[in-house]
Amino acid sequence: MDRIRIVGGNALNGIIPISGAKNAALPLMIASLLTSDTLTLENVPHLADVEGLIRILGNHGVDIAVNGRREHQDGSYSRTVHFTCRTVADTTAPYELVSKMRASFWVIGPLLAREGQARVSLPGGCAIGTRPVDLFIEGLTALGAEMEIDGGYINAKAPKGGLIGARYTFPKVSVGATHVMLMAASLARGTTVIGNAAREPEVVDLANCLNAMGAKISGAGTSTITIEGVTSLSGARHRVLPDRIETGTYAMAVAMTGGDVTLSGTDITLLDTAIEAIRRAGAEVSAVDGGIRVIGHGDAIRPVDIVTEPFPGFPTDLQAQFMGLMTRAHGVSHVTETIFENRFMHVQELARLGAKITLSGQTARIEGVTRLRGAPVMATDLRASVSLVIAGLAAEGETMVSRVYHLDRGFERLEEKLTRCGAIVERISD
């Protein structure tokens, strides 16, 4: 099993290219099930989750080619991937595939809309909370679907003639459920109005792609989205938006270590709240042509309190990274997690590096320390694992991060990008 070795103490200087967003690419890939034409996606990141979803879509009959060739032949940045589902080969998404990645559960929407039926295993994914599927079931039921849970699977069936447009308000904001409703309602008869919809940029990206395919969606990016159903969707060409979580992660790494880095190929407006928190912590962050410039001051980190919230609030996917940054702040900061109940598993690992963190319910109190010291640590989930990398970059001596398969799910060529900016980071394969 691979590990990542980090020798801390080096400032970061140079350019880090930001990849396409994993959280946008996954629903966009799933949208290929909605049409028999080819959906071409540009700027698709090379990640374990993307490769896993490629296998899942292949099970449903989607033919996949990368840059005009078959999959897995090109590992470069900004891949272009072509998805073609002439016919749906199988409407069942089996446990052995869905259990490995929660987002694969989202195929239930397109399968139900296009084929009128779906049998999808209850999902798996990171162990950061229960994340029930109730909102998915309630939303699709509002469109007329019959939903039954049996033997760990959801058996879904659309009414004769297909799904029917409806008004539905989510009792709680859910990005995944909003994605599924957008895809399902695009082929429903009549108009669907979604209330309390997720406002994340990734939702807007999916809506833009669906509209390019012939859907009629308005209001994406607000809490109310309207979808006028159409009888069919065509192919399209769409570029995956930049990864705002990767952007924020590297910005925090520079704030932690010091240095001057340009994050290229990204957009500062995708994460206003997180950028403001990084600035309050003492780093200089500014928009430049084609990206973002971050200047960190290392030993001059200021304490900042944050609360995770749905977009446009502070992203839960940056909470662990920001906590890593706060371990070196001059003073006490507080991080409150409101989205997932088990997303503090990185605390005990940060403590191994010398961090002083105490937990009270869903709030962590971080007392900044003058120095961190390298140690063996273990990743517990995707975002927690990269918080350990950030802390290791600023720690004295060597930090060895194990279980880095979590990192491979969401960060493309992390060691290469950091090494090019002066960090000592290497992957060790046992």
* Binding positions for phosphoenolpyruvate: 22-23
Mutual orientation of helices 244-257 and 272-280 as an angle, nearest 10°?
0
- Within 10 Å of residue 130's Cβ, how many Cβ atoms? 9
What is the SS3 assignment for 69? strand
Are the C-beta atoms of residues 200 and 311 closer than 8 Å to each other? yes
Mutual orientation of helices 175-186 and 22-30 as an angle, nearest 10°?
30
Contacts of 96 (CB under 8 A, 6+ apart): none
Residue 314 token pair: 């502070």
Taking only Cα atoms into account, the Rg of the chain, rounded to an integer number of angstroms, comes to: 21
Annotation marks residue 126 as catalytic: yes
Q: Which parts are annotated binding residues?
A: 22-23, 102, 131-135, 172-175, 317, 339
Rounded Cα gap, residues 26 and 114, in angstroms: 19
Rounded Cα gap, residues 344 and 341, in angstroms: 8
Identify the active-site residue in 85, 126, 209, 421: 126
Helix (H) or strand (E) holding 286: strand 284-288
CA angle 304, 308, 225 (to 5 degrees): 140
Give just the sign of the alpha carbon dihedral 333, 338, 343, 344: positive
The pairing of strands 79-84 and 63-66 is: antiparallel
Rounded Cα gap, residues 173 and 20, in angstroms: 24
Rounded Cα gap, residues 338 and 346, in angstroms: 16
Helix (H) or strand (E) holding 211: helix 201-212
Q: Which parts are annotated binding residues for UDP-N-acetyl-alpha-D-glucosamine?
A: 102, 131-135, 172-175, 317, 339
Residues known to be catalytic: 126
